[in-house]
């Protein structure tokens, strides 16, 4: 019987040791999860502070991240946009153009710059969009990230300057 008692006590000791080890691992995982959540909140805060439109779409074109500026401009929340594509948010011709540019980035596997037009309540706006592929730790492409800056006012100023220059050149020709 002492052998059986010793065996039982050893088993209890092993169980206690294993439970303590699992509790340490659990605390370590919780600390890692907290650190990850904090890091994600910091990143989202940075993204939300910018006036650029920032978004991430998977290789199939489904959104999984946008910043606050995107939400304000296009009237859609982060929760609403997850899993959506441009075709569910924009008119088909706009969605086609956005998707074509995303595909170019995925095919080239490098950052590219595009001039893109997006509809707004006050009419179409022109954006300079820098789009680049994202890779996972294995090197596999999994998403396209875009950072878009509204250049509508600049484009209008350029148009007015070209018009004024053309008018000046026309007057100059008439004087000669």
DSSP of 34-69: HHHHHHHHHHHHHHHHSSSEEEEEETTS-EEEE-HH
Indicate the SS3 state at residue 176: coil
Across 52-78, average pLDDT = 95
Tens-place pLDDT, residues 9-51: 888 899 998 989 989 999 998 988 988 888 888 888 888 888 8
Tens-place pLDDT, residues 137-147: 999 999 999 99
Whether 101 contacts 118, CB under 8 Å? no
Q: Which residue has the tokens 């595009």?
A: 114
**Residue of 83, 138, 142 lying closest to 109 (CA atoms):** 142
- pTM value is 0.76
CB neighbours of 162 closer than 8 A, spacing ≥ 6? none
Q: Which residue has the tokens 């991240």?
A: 65
Least confident of 22-26, 149-153, 169-173: 169-173
pLDDT value at position 45?
Answer: 85
Map out the domains of the chain with their CATH numbers: 50-175 (3.30.450.20)
- Beta bridge pairs of residue 132: 145
């Amino acid at each position: 019987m002492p052998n059986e008692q010793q065996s039982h006590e050893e088993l209890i000791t092993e169980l206690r040791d294993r439970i303590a080890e699992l509790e340490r691992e659990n605390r370590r995982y919780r600390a890692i999860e907290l650190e990850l959540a904090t890091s994600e909140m910091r990143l989202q805060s940075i993204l939300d502070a910018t006036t650029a439109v920032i978004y991430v779409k998977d290789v199939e074109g489904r959104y999984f991240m946008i910043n606050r500026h995107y939400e304000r401009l296009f009237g859609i929340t982060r929760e609403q946009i997850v899993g959506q594509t441009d075709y569910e948010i924009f008119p088909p011709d706009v969605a086609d153009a956005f998707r074509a540019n995303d595909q170019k980035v995925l095919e080239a596997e490098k950052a590219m710059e595009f001039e893109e037009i997006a509809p707004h309540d006050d009419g179409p706006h022109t954006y300079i969009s820098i789009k680049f592929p994202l890779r996972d730790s294995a090197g596999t492409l999994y998403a396209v990230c875009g950072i878009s800056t509204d250049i509508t006012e600049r484009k209008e100023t350029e148009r007015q300057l070209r018009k004024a220059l053309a008018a000046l050149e026309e007057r100059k020709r008439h004087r000669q």
